Amino acid sequence: MPDQTFCAMQQSIIDGAPDTASDLAQRAVAEGIEPLDAITNGFVPGMHAVGEQFGQGKMFLPDMMASAEAMRAAMAVLDPELKKLGTERPMAGVVVLGTTKGDIHEIGKILVGTLLSAHGFRVHDLGVDVGGEKFAVKARELNADIVGVSALLTTTMRNQRGVIEALVKAGLRSQVKVMVGGAPVTRQWAEEIGADGYAKDAMSAVALARNLMERKAQSVAEPV
């Protein structure tokens, strides 16, 4: 039964049908399907299919925009359900999140932020098209533990390096861990630019953020 529901969810994204996506998300909540399951097994595969078809020239920008709209409609229902999971947890750390300069993709970043919040992190989302300096200013203001930088375009990936450089310039690099992600980003790229970690999806981002908090605590505890 959930398989059919997941297929319908995927199709609602491919069709760019916000009302159907929203209805299916509401049905999932009513039927007790885990919201993360609905997102990762239902709606996100739809986004991947759209990306593939766009890449092959079978879908066009307006189609991709309609699909993003459908994804947002589903997230509007599932986001509050995910966030409920985090209400009783102790504060796990402070994260500043954003999508790099020149890039307006936000769905994955929002999902990462939601899951981090659901796991006790206090998340400040700077939005999209964010330059390195803005990350550094907010990280200083909030005394952030982690900066999470998203990039979905091969052309904007390099701006993740710019965020790290801005943190170095602001004298914050030793106290702020950096995690990077986004469809074209790889572990190798993360290492190349000197990030502290790479996460392939939102759940891995939570595991990585926890790991970075442990590493941070260890480095503080080490004698000088």
Whichever of 33 and 112 has its CB closer to ligand HCB, that residue is 112
Tokens at 224, concatenated: 């000088």
Does residue 154 belong to the site contacting ligand HCB (CB under 6 A)? yes
Whichever of 8 and 222 has its CB closer to ligand HCB, that residue is 8
* Shortest spacing between CB 135 and ligand HCB, in angstroms: 11
**Burial letters 110-138, b for 16+ CB under 10 A, else e:** bbbbbbbbbbbbbbebbebbbbbbbbbbb
By CB under 6 A, what part of segment 75-134 binds ligand HCB?
102-109, 111-112
What strand order describes the sheet that includes 93-99? 121-125, 93-99, 146-150, 177-181, 197-198
CB-CB contact of 19 with 53 (8 Å): no
Does residue 182 belong to the site contacting ligand HCB (CB under 6 A)? yes
202: Cβ contacts below 8 Å, ≥ 6 apart: 108, 111, 112, 114, 115
Listed ranges 62-70, 85-93, 158-166, 167-175: which one lies at the site for ligand HCB (CB under 6 A): 62-70
Does residue 202 belong to the site contacting ligand HCB (CB under 6 A)? yes
Task: For residue 216, count CB atoms less than 10 angstroms from its CB and return exposed for 0-12, middle for 13-18, buried for 19 or more.
Answer: middle
Listed ranges 10-18, 81-89, 150-158, 169-177: which one lies at the site for ligand HCB (CB under 6 A): 150-158
Place of tokens 């994955």: 108
Does residue 64 belong to the site contacting ligand HCB (CB under 6 A)? yes
Does residue 65 belong to the site contacting ligand HCB (CB under 6 A)? yes
Tokens at 199, concatenated: 């996460």
SS3 29: helix
Does residue 14 belong to the site contacting ligand HCB (CB under 6 A)? no
Give the residue among 100, 145, 147, 154 at the shortest CA–CA distance from 127.
Answer: 100
Listed ranges 57-65, 130-138, 158-166, 211-219: which one lies at the site for ligand HCB (CB under 6 A): 57-65
Per-residue contact flags (x/-) with ligand HCB for residues 32 to 51, judged by CB under 6 A: ------------x--xx-xx
SS3 32: coil
Exactly one of 122, 168, 201, 216 binds ligand HCB (CB under 6 A); which one?
Answer: 201
Q: By CB under 6 A, name the binding residues for ligand HCB.
A: 44, 47-48, 50-51, 54-55, 61, 64-65, 67-68, 102-109, 111-112, 148-150, 152-154, 179-184, 199, 201-202, 205
